[in-house]
Amino acid sequence: MKRAKVATLIIGLASVGLVGSAVAQLSAIPPEVTAKVRALGPVLNDETRSSARSLSTPLHATLGPEILVKTDFAYGPDERHQLDVLAPAHKPSTPVPVVVFVHGGMYVRGDKTVPGTPFFQHIGAFWARNSMVGVNITYRLAPKHQWPDGAQDVGAAVKWVRDNIGAYGGDPNRIVLMGHSAGASHIAGYLFHKHLWLSGGDGIVGAILLSGGYDPTSRQTDARRAYYGEDQSLYAERSPLKHIEARVVPIFIAFAEYDPPRYQLEAISLFKAICERDNRCPPMKQLLGHNHMTAIYHIGTNDELISADLLAFVCGLK
């Protein structure tokens, strides 16, 4: 679908009240960054990724002594079963919400940190600076590890958090999952496939899904085949979107103005499905002026396009 058609669909949904806050205020990113992002357009490739890193890195402050950083905890047996904890240096007097971040990478790459950059520690730092506990995880990658391994890793990381996060002031009964791109897909996979849930409860009270893919039946790509497998007849059973009746928790959906159209359409599809399921619509926001990568890289900078929304969402969860 052409980008103009996607924009028309968003505006149409807003006009009938389906997208309450999807069309958001303009970003406060520097004009030269906006111009570069606009010039790159709604594509996702190595140039987009490299440009986003170089443009966004100078916008971040270094981690200071106000944040406690503990790295490379093992939450499972695989070498990629690693997570970092970022918490207020002074342990909160009462337990605070925990936000578990799951990185992207088209199912086949990515890590909880990007060497030489603030990413993705900047997400955990954002939550720690706002008196919460952030957890960043790494998970197993396709094609060696296919569905449902990524979603299972989300559950395994949550179990570690449930068992250990109290030592850092986190509340094991107020866990919020936050994912970008493939990370958002893995979170949706965990949330909506009941057989993957932890026995005895997992403490998850909400989720933030940014620029993810939620329905492999809608469009086949090399990355999706790497994770979901070559047999497309299995995709409906493996699709998070086809199983959203399984779990009802508050979900915040976001996507970027210059996301490739498939990400925008799948965010809208998830939004519509939740609206129909609950007879009420979840919060959703389009990040104007951003692309697939700057949408996640800008969080924690002076560009507060989505920061207040995220804080309000998490603080409002019970």
Domain CATH for 20:
3.40.50.1820
pLDDT band at 1 (very low <50, low <70, confident <90, very high): very low
As a whole number of angstroms, the distance between CA 257 and CA 252 comes to 17
The SS3 call for residue 74 is strand
> Cβ(140)–Cβ(150) under 8 Å?
yes
- Asked if residue 73 has pLDDT above 80, the reply is yes
- Asked if residue 20 has pLDDT above 80, the reply is no
Expressed as residue numbers, the domain containing 175 is: 3-315
- Asked if residue 160 has pLDDT above 90, the reply is yes
User: What's the confidence (pLDDT) of residue 31?
Assistant: 83
Ranges 18-27, 109-118, 149-158: which has the least confidence: 18-27
User: What's the confidence (pLDDT) of residue 298?
Assistant: 95
In the predicted model, what is the mean pLDDT of residues 128-133? Answer: 98
pLDDT band at 318 (very low <50, low <70, confident <90, very high): confident
As a whole number of angstroms, the distance between CA 175 and CA 254 comes to 19
Ranges 16-25, 154-163, 210-219: which has the least confidence: 16-25
As a whole number of angstroms, the distance between CA 93 and CA 43 comes to 45
Give ∠ CA 173-183-12 in degrees, rounded to 5: 100
- Asked if residue 260 has pLDDT above 80, the reply is yes
User: What's the confidence (pLDDT) of residue 26?
Assistant: 52
- Asked if residue 66 has pLDDT above 60, the reply is yes
User: What's the confidence (pLDDT) of residue 27?
Assistant: 58
In the predicted model, what is the mean pLDDT of residues 4-33? Answer: 52
- Asked if residue 205 has pLDDT above 60, the reply is yes
pLDDT band at 18 (very low <50, low <70, confident <90, very high): very low
- Asked if residue 216 has pLDDT above 90, the reply is yes
- Asked if residue 234 has pLDDT above 90, the reply is yes
> Cβ(299)–Cβ(307) under 8 Å?
yes
Considering its fold, how many domains does the chain have in total?
Answer: 1
- Asked if residue 268 has pLDDT above 90, the reply is yes
Return mean pLDDT, the chain.
92
- Asked if residue 192 has pLDDT above 70, the reply is yes
pLDDT band at 9 (very low <50, low <70, confident <90, very high): low
Give ∠ CA 271-36-310 in degrees, rounded to 5: 35
User: What's the confidence (pLDDT) of residue 158?
Assistant: 98
